[in-house]
Each structure stands twice: as C-alpha cells, then as structure tokens.
Structure 1
Amino acid sequence: MRSTPSEISKRFKRSPRNRIIAAIDLFCGVGGLTKGLEKAGIEVRLGVDIDPACAYPYEANNEAAFLLQSVADLNATKLHANMKGAGFKLLAGCAPCQPFSTYHQKSGPSDERWHLLGHFGRLAKELDPDIITMENVPNLAKQSVFKKFVSELEALDFNVAYEVVNCAEFGVPQQRQRLVLLASKLGPISLLRTKSKPKTVRKAIEGLPAIEAGEVCETDPLHQASELSDLNMRRIRASTPGGTWRDWKKELVADCHKRPTGKTYPSVYGRMEWDEPAPTITTQYFGFGNGRFGHPEQDRAISLREGAILQSFPKSYKFVKSGDPIYCKTIGRLIGNAVPVKLAEAIGKSIVAHVEMHTGSQKRAA
C-alpha cells in the first residue's frame, strides 16, 4: 500500500530522530550519481546495472553494494530489504540515454532501451519511495515515454518538477545540457542553485603530469593518451584552442569535410580552451577526431583521467583493479555515460534541503 503525503508527515512527527535518506541507484553505471548523493549526505544502499564492467568501480569508490541485473527483470521484493531502517526512501537513476540522444535519431520504440524508463516507473510504484530523481538527455522531455512517466508519478501523488540545466552551473568543468527530474510526496521540490563562476579546463586538469600521445603516466595508469597517426599529429599541431579544422591548410582537411554535407560539422578535430569549461564529454572523448577533445596545449587528445576529472569525478576515482588491463573504449564509455558527480551532489543537496524544510533536520549517514 502506497503512502500518502499526510501519512509520511505523521510518520516523521512520530519519529523525529529518524531522518536518514536511503537511496537505490538504478542504471548506476560506475557510480557518478551515487558518489554525488553520498557527498550530499544521502545513504545510497544499492546500485543496479546490467554492465559487469561497472561492478568494480562502483563498489571500490562508494559505500553501496552493486547488483548485476537488468532493471527490466528487477522487482521491488529485492529492493525493499535495502531500505530497512530508512527514514526516507529515494529512488534515483539515469536510464540509458542513447535512444533519446540527438546523436541517435534512428532510435525509437523498437530499441529495447527505449522502454527502460517504463520499468523505472513500474519500480517507483512497487517500491513506494518518498522521493525520486532522474537525469537524462534533454531530448527525452519531448518523448511520449517521458510524458507517460511524469503522468504516472503524478498519479502516485508525487509533486513533479523537471528542467534542462547546464552542468557548468553546478561546478562541473564542462558544457553539458541535461534533463533533471525531481519528484516528492512531501511537497513541491526544485533544484537549488548557488552563484558561482563556471570551473574551467585549466582549473580542472592543468596540474596533471604532461604526457605525449600514446604515453601512459607512470603514477596513474588512467592518465594515458591515445596514439596519433602522422596525419593527425600534423592536424593537432595546426589546431588552436577553440579553433576548428576550417583553420587548417587544405591538405590536412579530411575528405568527408570537403563535401557539402561535411562542412556543417566543425566541432571535431579541435582543441579545448584553457579558460572555458570543456565541451560535452562523450563516450568517444579519448579520440582527437571525435570532437573538440584535443588538449589545450599538449599535442594529444585528453587522457582517460582528464575526461573523468572533467566529468567531476575525484582525481583518485578507481575504474579498474590495480594491474588489470585498461581498455580505452570500455573506460571511455563508462566515463562518458556517467552522471557528473558535481551535478549529482547538487541534486542530493536539493533533496536534503527539501527533507529538512518539510520535516526538520535529517540525521545524516555516517
């Protein structure tokens, strides 16, 4: 039986000391959302993902346990035990965004990932949480599956709010537009803002050891850069921060960009600017030709570690076991798909403030 807002209010008046917010993170990936929620004082109990590559980084960097399972096959019976003793139940997650991304225009209901948001809604009904948060690409808000999701939450007595934000507003050194949804049975809820200057690429990564293309840093194996062909080395040396391939000599321009259809794609083969936030970090960010992912100064693409830092992961975040091989495509995908930690922390702080406003100060997890 689901709780009504009045029942929730009475529950916490009877138990003024019980203010722990316990969370389950669906589609948890390597733990960007979990880490941010933990930093805000929320006790994440469990992360769920279908990708086995996420298990080690998730558990090595966070307090929560990891469950290797598809959310489509999950039911609330497994989840209820993880909420034992919680004052408030938070269901969080970021369903795979690829079906809704503008980079995957051919995706649609035939893509099985399209329906995972529906399973998020199903679990919201089964688990009966007090608060829900979800992060995804802006284009999702235009889709019928999202409108249905919102309607289902409202039918469950949630106050729902959502907006598209730029992650740079929240201390992420990156221009990244994301859709953030917050829903609560306690009352209206919104994402809090603080006035601060955007963090720049310089402030984020300038202090890392210099490395060359194809080199691995001796002190941090994740600080490694992809090799460059002779042609791409000439191209990056001809590139300036903030510039494009349109600035190159004709013999350096790729054939595909010489065609009329290619001239509309200037944001590849470019360098980042030191004193601006980075462009959106994608799953292919470790490749110079995949976007404006050239280092501002060194003749190489940014390293795996630099991409993680630009996603606001702590510099010490572990992605592979010590001594294990590092596969750029795998780690790049995991980092590029992650919820930026600083955005997640802002979401978590908004939830904590919301709980405090409606019920008094919460008891934060140790």
Structure 2
Amino acid sequence: MKLKPMIPHKKKTLKAIDFFCGAGGMTQGMIQSGIDVLAGIDIASDCKQTYEINNSSTYIETDITSYTADDLKEATGILKNDDSLVFIGCSPCQYWTKIRTNKSKSKMTKDLLDRFKYFVHEFLPGYIVIENVPGLCNSSENRVLRDFKQYLSDSSYVFDDGIINGNDYGVPQNRRRYLFVATRLSEDIRLPEAEKSDDLTVRNFIGRNNGFKKIPAGHKDETDYIHSSANLSKQNIQRMKLTKRDGGTRHCWKDNPALQINAYKGRDDIFGDVYARMWWDKPAPTITTRFNSFSNGRFGHPEENRAISLREGATLQTFPKDYIFKGSNNATIARQIGNAVPPELARRIGIDLIRSWKNTIVQSKSKSS
C-alpha cells in the first residue's frame, strides 16, 4: 500500500504549536492536513536534527517546566484568543503506560499535562489536541486530566475524547491510544470518524514488494533509508530459525532446554508476544521504542530471521520513506520512531480540525448576514 505523500497544502487555514513534538510525527501529519505548524517544543536534543530536517517548523529545544508564555510569544509571534491557533500536547507517557517501565524515572513527567494547561490558559487557542496512552484517562490517581477537563469546561471549551485504535485511522498497527480534541468556537467538535480497512496489514507496508530487500540480523544500512537490523546472539538466531514463519511464538522452542528461557519455564500463558514474529496479514503490534529488538515483543520479521529494521518500523508508523532520522545510534532512532504519533493519524485529526474551522466560519458569516 502506498502512503499519501507528505506534501504541505498550499493554503493554510490553521496554525499550530506542537508541544512535546519529539521527532515530528504529529507535526508531519498536521502539515499534510493543511495546518501550518509554527513550532515544535521538546527537551530532547536528539530529536532536533530529525525534526528540522523534515519539517519547515522551528524546533524549540527547552525544558517546558521553565519555559514561559512570554518566551513562546517572542519565539513564534502567537497571540492570545487566536481562533485559528491549535495547541497540541502529546506529553511523555511512560508513567501511565501499561508497559513495564521504571515508574520512579518517569514520575517527574506525569504532570506535564498541567504545564500544558498553563500555556492553554495564557493563550486560549481556538483548538486543543491531546494524544497519549490509554492509561492517562484510566488511572484512578490521575487528577491532572480531570482538572484539565474541568478547567476547559469552565473556560467555555467543548471537547470529545476516548480510546481509539490507530488501525481504524490508516495505521497498520493495533495501537490503542487516548485522543482528545477541544474547541471554544462552537459545539462542532468530535474525534475523527473510524474507518475500518482490511488493507492495513504488515504485508501491505513492508516486505520485498514494498521496497525492503532481504537482509540478515545485524545488517547496517549507512544510507538515510536506515534499513538496519539489530544484532542477534547465536542463541537468538537459533530461536528465530525455530520460530514458525508468519506469527510464530517462543512456544515453538519451549521444550528445547538449550533455548528455553528460565523466566518462562512452565509459564507459557504469560507475555505471549515476547520472542514472536509478526503476521503478514494482520496489523503489526504497537510499535514501541524497542521495536527493533526480537526479545521485547512481537517484533520478529514475519519470515526473515531478524527483528524488523528501523525503516520498517518507521513505515509501520506511517512515516514517509524519505523521512530522515538522525541519532547517535540505532537505539536513539528507534526511540524517536516508537515515541512518535503516527503521521497518518495526525493527518486525519488535522483534517477534522479544518472541517470544524471551516464550518465555524460559514456559521459566523451566516449569522452576520
């Protein structure tokens, strides 16, 4: 399946600031929808080069907790109460994710939505978008989202939110996310409409028919195409060879004492996707920050004896194949890709914002005539 080219529309109707922009997945999709992204803001220095190479937007590298509204106004020229302004807040989500992570390391980021609220309060943009892990709205301890919603309601915003699957929005993954859209301009705001498609499978995005030549584990692609795969130990190579093609799991070698993993002995019912292959004719699993590792999920290539490559992961995230990723090593690039909002999801959100914006203009002209 060919992705739609990420070419900015000539006519811009809305402008946006992309908070916590990372490598630019949300920015890229918004640009494709026709929205002018003025700037992306992030503390991550390793994302700056990737972001600026691929987007005409300014990358503001800063700690958002000490950055002020005056700083943002000076850097971008935005003003308060601008109906055409969109604020996008996709803050780091490790604290609220179900994936096993060190919560103590991510605890400092769990209240970044509160900092985002500060900028919303200072500028009162016409539109607001939030994308995050489902745990952001499911956790009983998360007062930040509740307070944010209450603040918006008190400030005459209306909103729609819910848990969506990226596979219903042009993304070839089972990627469940929390999505939130808001406006103070009208009642006409809703999440993009889900569109089911049987074409959003691994087969239609990667593989030799989609420009991905066969490569071995440990292959290094020195070009910007980064069709590079991680090294595998001899033991993991043996495991992959015994893992059935097209969806095979570690159960294929669980009775081999030389290959079985101690943590899983007699525990075949847990973590079934670890050391597993993707299926050709199903969506990929969620592309995480460690998608290039065979041992961290169902990230084995459907038939080749390796984990999927960096470019394959980016393609399953719906980045265009000419999107250039820069980083000091493969782990850094994988993290940029896995943390990103899929551009195709972002594009569809942007299209709906423009629809709402245009409807507001039509209604305003109708009332004044």
CA contact (8 A) 1:286 1:301 kept: yes
Task: Pick the aligned partner of 1:124 from 120, 133, 138.
Answer: 120
**Distance apart, 1:195 and its partner CA:** 3.3
> Does 2:148 align with 1:144?
no
Q: Kindly tell me: are residues 264 and 120 of structure 1, through their superposed partners in 2, closer, same or farther at Cα, counting changes over 3 Å?
A: same
Tell me, yes or no, if the aligned pair for 2:279 and 2:302 is still in contact at 8 Å.
Answer: yes
1:147 is displaced (CA, Å) by 1.0
Q: Which residue of 2 aligns with 1:63?
A: 56
Residue 19 of structure 1 deviates from its aligned partner by 7.3
1:79 touches 1:127 (CA, 8 Å); kept in 2?
A: no
User: Could you list the runs of 4 or more consecutive aligned residues of structure 1 that deviate by over 4 angstroms after TM superposition?
Assistant: 83-87, 218-221
Amino acid at match of 2:333: I
The equivalences for 1:147-158 within 5 A come to 147-158=146-157
> Deviation per CA, 1:45-104, whole angstroms, max 9, x where unpaired?
010000001101111111100000011112111223525597601100201000111125
Contact 2:275/2:299, CA 8 A, preserved across alignment:
yes
* Structure 2 counterpart of 1:36, one-letter code: G
**Match of residue 204 from structure 1:** 205
Alignment of 1:165-314 (within 5 A): 165-188=164-187, 189-193=189-193, 195-198=195-198, 199-206=200-207, 207=210, 208-217=212-221, 220=224, 222-240=226-244, 241-251=246-256, 252-258=259-265, 260=267, 263-314=269-320
TM-score computed with the length of structure 1 as normaliser: 0.87
For residues 42 and 220 of structure 1, what CA distance do their matches in structure 2 show?
27
Q: 2:344 aligns with which of 333, 342, 347?
A: 342
CA distance in 2, matches of 1:224, 1:256: 29
CA distance in 2, matches of 1:330, 1:347: 27
- 1:173-230 deviation per Cα after TM superposition (whole angstroms, max 9, x unaligned): 1110000000101123112225341411111112211111011236555110011111
Local SS of the residue matching 2:332 = helix
Distance in 2, matches of 1:256 and 1:194, equals 39
1:319 to 320, 325, 335: 325
Aligned mates of 2:58, 2:46 — CA distance in 1: 15
Identity, % of aligned pairs? 37
The separation in 2 between residues aligned to 1:264 and 1:171, in whole angstroms, is 30
Please give the alpha-carbon distance, in whole angstroms, between the structure 2 residues aligned to 1:123 and 1:84. 12
Q: Which runs of 5+ in 1 are unaligned?
A: 1-17, 362-366
C-alpha change, 1:87 and 1:158, in structure 2 (3 Å) is closer
Structure 1 position 54 matched with structure 2 position 47: yes
RMSD in angstroms over aligned alpha carbons? Answer: 2.2
Compared CA separation, residues 356 and 67, structure 1 to 2 (3 A): same
| Count of aligned pairs between the two proteins | 339
In 1, distance between residues paired with 2:39 and 2:300? Answer: 37
Secondary structure, aligned partner of 1:250: coil
Tell whether the 8 Å contact from 2:83 to 2:125 is kept in structure 1 after alignment.
no
CA distance in 2, matches of 1:249, 1:217: 33
The 8 Å contact of residues 84 and 126 in structure 2, kept in 1 or not, is answered as yes
| Letter in structure 2 aligned against 1:92 | I
Q: Which residue of 2 aligns with 1:43?
A: 36
Report if aligned partners of 2:12, 2:36 keep a CA contact under 8 Å in 1.
no
Q: 1:116 to 1:28 in 2, by over 3 A?
A: same
| Aligned-residue offset at 1:247 | 2.5
Q: 1:29 to 1:214 in 2, by over 3 A?
A: same
- Secondary structure of 2:103's match? coil
Q: Does residue 1:89 correspond to 2:85, yes or no?
A: yes
Where 2:111 maps in the other structure, the secondary structure is helix
Name the amino acid aligned to 2:179. Answer: V
Task: Give me the whole-angstrom Cα distance separating, in 1, the residues matched to 2:12 and 2:205.
Answer: 35
- Give, as a single letter, the amino acid of the residue that structure 1 aligns with 2:23: V
Structure 1 residue 355 displacement after superposition: 0.5
**Measured at CA, do residues 350 and 311 of structure 1 come closer, stay the same or move farther in structure 2, by a change above 3 Å?**
same
Residue 21 of structure 1 pairs with residue 21 of structure 2 = no
For the Cα contact (< 8 Å) 2:162–2:178, is it kept in 1?
yes
When residues 171 and 145 of structure 1 are mapped into structure 2, their CA distance, relative to the original with a 3 A threshold, is: same
Letter of the 1:278 counterpart: A
Separation in structure 1 between the aligned mates of residue 220 and residue 330 of structure 2, nearest angstrom: 12
| 1-structure distance, mates of 2:30, 2:14 | 10
Is contact 2:94–2:106 with CA below 8 Å preserved after alignment?
no
In the other structure, the counterpart of 2:3 is: none
Give the deviation of 1:329 after TM superposition. Answer: 1.3
Preserved CA contact (<8 Å) 1:26 1:94: yes
Q: Counterpart of 2:147 in structure 1: which amino acid?
A: K
